[in-house]
A = this chain, B = another copy of it.
């Protein structure tokens, strides 16, 4: 069981959008350059965030990506599920029903075990749901930074 590295990338992408001066849309190239991945790959990643309703995109000259809602309304769970998908990490092949003999009592027990794992997963997700992107961006002294990522990108070149 290993969390996808895409979750970390997604958090960084969203953090960049959240700290972008005046919420001006960021072009994919600026993001991909900063994350050091190919532009096409980055677009695939951001697309997931768009589908999940976390990011808005506009395909015009002055377009790019921007946050679809305030970072305070965006939880770590939202980000996690945008990348990992909403399906459970727990999958059963119903092996017990074959190993033991298929009958109601075995099926019931199998579900009991599955539910333990589902419950554990639920606790995991509930925890993530308690924290917003804003929570982790804002400092305790309420200072919030912003950058002009586009010009930073130009400087690097």
| A residues apposed to B, CB below 8 Å | 1-5, 8-9, 11-12, 15-16, 34-36, 76, 84, 89-93, 95-96, 98-100, 105, 109, 112-113, 116-117, 119-121, 123-128, 131, 136-137, 139
Contact = CB atoms under 8 A, between A and B. Distances in A.
Contacts of A89: 1-3
A120 B116 contact: no
Given A8-B93, A84-B1, A16 B120 contact: no
A91 B34 contact: no
Q: How many copies does the complex hold?
A: 2
A90 B143 CA distance: 29
A11 B113 contact: yes
B116 A136 contact: yes
A119 B123 CA distance: 10
